Amino acid sequence: MKNLFTEIPGCLEQEQFQDLLKAEHVRIERILSKGQTSPETGWYDQTEDEWVLVLEGSGTISFEDGRSVRLKRGDHLHIPKHQKHRVSWTDPNEVTIWLAVFF
């Protein structure tokens, strides 16, 4: 048994990605951010749908069409495959814990 709220480093210089489950048609990933964003150039253009949930902290996901969505604790969002997006902001003062389900 594991816990989503353990093994969180005190110093988080880079975003941390951890696969929690990988199966034929689903992957569940824990992402830890503290002020990190996606690279300035390029967009995520995934071949899978993604459902993302913020467990702690907050962050903003921006879309190629100009839309931005601020997510805080408990907020979740479905991102259809090939919808270009990026993380444009995460809270620099606390760790944001994301749970991403790719299917």
Does residue 57 sit within a domain?
Answer: yes
Does residue 82 sit within a domain?
Answer: yes
**HSE-up (13 A, CA, CB side) for residue 77:** 21
> For residue range 4-28, what is the model confidence (pLDDT) as tens digits?
999 998 889 999 999 999 999 999 9
- This model's pTM is above 0.95: no
> For residue range 28-65, what is the model confidence (pLDDT) as tens digits?
999 999 999 998 888 999 999 999 999 999 999 999 99
Q: What is the DSSP letter of 44?
A: B
Query: Is the distance from CB of 59 to CB of 91 less than 8 angstroms?
Result: yes
Domain carrying residue 93: 29-102
Does residue 12 sit within a domain?
Answer: no
- d(CA 20, CA 28) in angstroms, rounded, equals 5
Pseudo-torsion of CA 30, 90, 51, 17, nearest 10°?
Answer: -20
